[in-house]
Amino acid sequence: MKITKLGHCCLLIEESRLKILTDPGMFSTSQNEMKSIDVILVTHEHQDHLHMDSLKAVLRNNLKAKVITNRGVGKLLEKEGIGYELLEDKQGKTISGILLEGFGEKHATIYQDFGQVVNTGYCIASRFFYPGDAFYNPGKPVEILALPVAGPWLKLEEAIDYATLLKPKVCFSVHDGMLKFIGPTHKVLHTFLPTVGIEFRDAVKDIELVF
């Protein structure tokens, strides 16, 4: 599996012959020029994960790409005349021999019900889990974890506890588009995650990670 981080939570995952793009949001632009995308996974409707103009650009360049998401995002796509397939909590779908599974129902709490939209995390090929904006336990082994590390809905202690709970072999940082540079946040993760047997990798824009 090869994962290329385009920025924030926009990832290109290549597994076998399948190319999957996640969350084309407002903190990244490289996705707008991507070709040969088979699947676009959207975890939720916030603009740092779903930037409609960017999604339309990706679809123009990838006419056969399938958008797979939840009912919350689906309502917005319907208004734009964009087709999609549902994949939500405890549901699975196999595309080109690759299993995609959905986990979780709600965005993590920011404050009361502010921003409390439908959020679906996605597991790919029973190896890689990207939770979107939530610390949801999929209840199954996770080998590779996309770990959110910054934002108004989390604190670093929760991110470390979440990784410790899931016990992946390796994790890398996502949801960090608001951070100016690799710094104290990543240093804390490098300090503590290896002590519980988890390899942590910094993931900056346009970096390729091979697993």
Q: Are 19 and 1 in contact (CB under 8 A)?
A: no
- Positive or negative, the CA dihedral 63, 18, 107, 51 is negative
> For residue 18, which of 94, 74, 81, 72 has the smallest C-alpha distance?
94
Q: Show the tokens assigned to 118.
A: 């439908």
List, for residues 4-42, the tens digit of each pLDDT value. Answer: 999 999 999 999 999 999 999 999 999 999 999 999 999
Fold for domain 2-210?
Metallo-beta-lactamase; Chain A (3.60.15)
What's the distance, Cα to Cα, between the start and end of the chain in Å? 5
The better pLDDT of the pair 169, 184 is held by 169
- C-alpha–C-alpha distance, residues 77 and 79, integer Å: 5
Mean pLDDT for all residues in the chain: 95
- Positive or negative, the CA dihedral 13, 18, 24, 28 is positive
List, for residues 62-108, the tens digit of each pLDDT value. Answer: 999 999 999 999 999 999 999 999 999 999 999 999 999 999 999 99
- CB neighbours (10 Å) of residue 38? 17
Does position 206 have pLDDT exceeding 70, yes or no?
no
Q: Which band of pLDDT confidence, cut at 50, 70 and 90, is reported for residue 43?
A: very high
* pLDDT (average), residues 106-124: 96
